[in-house]
């Protein structure tokens, strides 16, 4: 299940608060160089899991290997290699952006000269350089979040944890952060992203894990997850002339064919077989295919299906 290229290995992680089990014996791994999305409804255990993985709270059972270090036994060595962007901005508001970054540099043991260079570069990239000497309390939410990202990146971590990094941000800040995350990932940084935003997860993540009521209910690439939740596939096809409905419905692999406007909504058990049949059908009936779309379920659909209470 685990390989040497795994930068995170959650092993039977469990966290209880009183009688409530927030995270229930979950195990999963995150591979080096991937963007891993961690999804789940409110109260599912996402933040608790992230806090255990980042060594903020200890698990009741199990452990996690982060960058090869046991987060319970060697927390300092593990933390030295990753950065954390929490959901709530937690920069020191009584300090300036620059002072916050220098503090981070000191806490990660970075030589002052290197801290200065990195801080200047990050503030420039994130559009904060001109306001570096202003106290953080005067910053907007987007600026604070960008500063938090800069603080997490100062020591050039190989692994970055982000908890809802774009939640409630304006479009400009969101795009800036997402663009930076893509660039970081292309440069080799592994990213563990907790998010509610399915579109964000769909576009960014190589794999996603979905947690519900403290248990992992799905773990796969977004496209595979979308496909896996529906055994019946939907296709939409239109021809340049009228075709008989019963002929379409009787095609190999096709379950039903319903007309909507100038298109046909086809349901099929086997998408590949249905497409092949439709192509053959168009040739045999001398009807040109004008449009042919596969209507895959969205990640939203997958998420809703997998996190539904009655889902096994």
Partner 1 sequence: MNPAGYSEQVRRAWAIAKKDIRIYYIKGPVLIFGIFMPVFLFLAFLMGSRQLPLAFLVSGLVGMTLFFTATAVSPAIFPWEGQAKTLERLASCPIMVEAIVLGDMIASTLFGIGITLITVVIGLALGLSLIHGITLLAAILLAACCFSAIGMLLAVPPTNVPSNIMMLSSLLKFPLVFISGIFVPLEQMPPWGLALAFCSPLTYFADLVRYSFTGSHFFAVWVDIAALGFFMVIFTAGTMYLHKRTMPKRM
Residues 151-170: x/- map of binding to partner 1 (CB under 8 A)? x-------------------
93 binding partner 1? (CB under 8 A): yes
Least gap, CB of 109 to partner 1 (angstroms) = 6
Which CB, 139 or 239, lies closer to partner 1? 139
99 binding partner 1? (CB under 8 A): yes
Stretch that binds partner 1, among 30-38, 92-100, 190-198, 233-241 (CB under 8 A): 92-100
Contacts of 250 (CB under 8 A, 6+ apart): none
62 binding partner 1? (CB under 8 A): no
Closest C-alpha to 39, from 225, 258, 309: 225
Contacts of 271 (CB under 8 A, 6+ apart): 233, 235, 253, 294
Which CB, 153 or 217, lies closer to partner 1? 153
76 binding partner 1? (CB under 8 A): yes
Least gap, CB of 153 to partner 1 (angstroms) = 14
115 binding partner 1? (CB under 8 A): no
Least gap, CB of 169 to partner 1 (angstroms) = 17
104 binding partner 1? (CB under 8 A): yes
CA distances from 225 to 20, 38, 207, 311 (A): 29, 13, 9, 15
| Of the candidate residues 18, 109, 188, 261, the single one contacting partner 1 (CB under 8 A) | 109
Stretch that binds partner 1, among 50-58, 225-233, 281-289, 303-311 (CB under 8 A): 50-58
Distance of CA 266 to the CA centre of its chain: 31
| Of the candidate residues 7, 84, 210, 235, the single one contacting partner 1 (CB under 8 A) | 84
Least gap, CB of 80 to partner 1 (angstroms) = 4
Least gap, CB of 280 to partner 1 (angstroms) = 59
Total residues interacting with partner 1, rule: CB under 8 A? 30
Closest C-alpha to 251, from 235, 227, 230: 235
279 binding partner 1? (CB under 8 A): no
DSSP state of 137: G
Q: How far apart are CA 252 and CA 230, in angstroms?
A: 19
| Of the candidate residues 25, 27, 72, 108, the single one contacting partner 1 (CB under 8 A) | 108
Length of the chain in residues, anyone? 312
219 binding partner 1? (CB under 8 A): no
Q: How far apart are CA 227 and CA 296, in angstroms?
A: 7
CA distances from 179 to 35, 126, 138, 151, 186 (A): 13, 11, 25, 17, 11
Sheet bearing 35-39, strands edge to edge: 82-85, 159-163, 190-194, 35-39, 207-212, 215-220
Count CB-CB contacts under 10 A for residue 205.
22
Residues forming beta bridges with residue 259, ordered by sequence position: 264
74 binding partner 1? (CB under 8 A): yes
43 binding partner 1? (CB under 8 A): no
CA distances from 302 to 104, 111, 203, 258 (A): 39, 47, 15, 24
Q: Which residues bind partner 1 (CB under 8 A)?
A: 51, 54-58, 74-77, 79-80, 84, 86, 88-95, 99, 103-104, 106-109, 151
């Amino acid at each position: 299940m685990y390989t040497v290229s795994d930068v995170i290995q959650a092993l039977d992680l469990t966290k209880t608060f009183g009688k409530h089990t927030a995270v229930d014996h979950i195990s999963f791994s995150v591979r080096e160089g991937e963007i891993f999305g961690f999804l789940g409804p409110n109260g599912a255990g996402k933040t608790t899991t992230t806090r255990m993985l980042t060594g903020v709270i200890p698990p009741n059972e199990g452990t996690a290997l982060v960058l090869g270090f046991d987060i319970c036994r060697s927390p300092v060595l593990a933390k030295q290699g990753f950065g954390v962007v929490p959901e709530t901005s937690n920069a020191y508001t009584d300090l300036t952006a620059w002072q916050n970054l220098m503090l981070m540099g000191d806490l990660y043991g970075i030589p002052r000269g290197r801290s200065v260079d990195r801080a200047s570069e990050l503030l420039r990239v994130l559009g904060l350089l001109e306001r570096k000497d202003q106290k953080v309390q005067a910053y907007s939410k987007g600026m604070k979040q960008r500063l938090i990202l800069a603080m997490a990146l100062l020591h050039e971590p190989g692994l970055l944890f982000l908890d809802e990094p774009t939640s409630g941000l304006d479009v400009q800040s969101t795009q800036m952060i997402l663009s930076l995350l893509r660039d970081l990932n292309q440069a080799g940084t592994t990213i563990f992203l907790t998010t509610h935003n399915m579109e964000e997860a769909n576009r960014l993540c190589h794999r996603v894990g979905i947690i519900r009521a403290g248990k992992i209910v799905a773990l796969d690439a977004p496209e595979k997850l979308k496909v896996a939740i529906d055994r019946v596939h939907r296709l939409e096809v239109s021809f340049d002339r009228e075709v008989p409905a019963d002929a379409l419905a009787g095609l190999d692999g096709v379950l039903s064919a319903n007309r909507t406007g100038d298109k046909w909504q086809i349901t099929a058990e086997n998408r590949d077989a249905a497409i092949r049949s439709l192509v053959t059908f168009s040739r045999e009936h001398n009807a040109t295919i004008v449009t042919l779309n596969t209507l895959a379920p969205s990640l939203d659909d997958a998420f809703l299906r997998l996190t539904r209470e009655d889902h096994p």
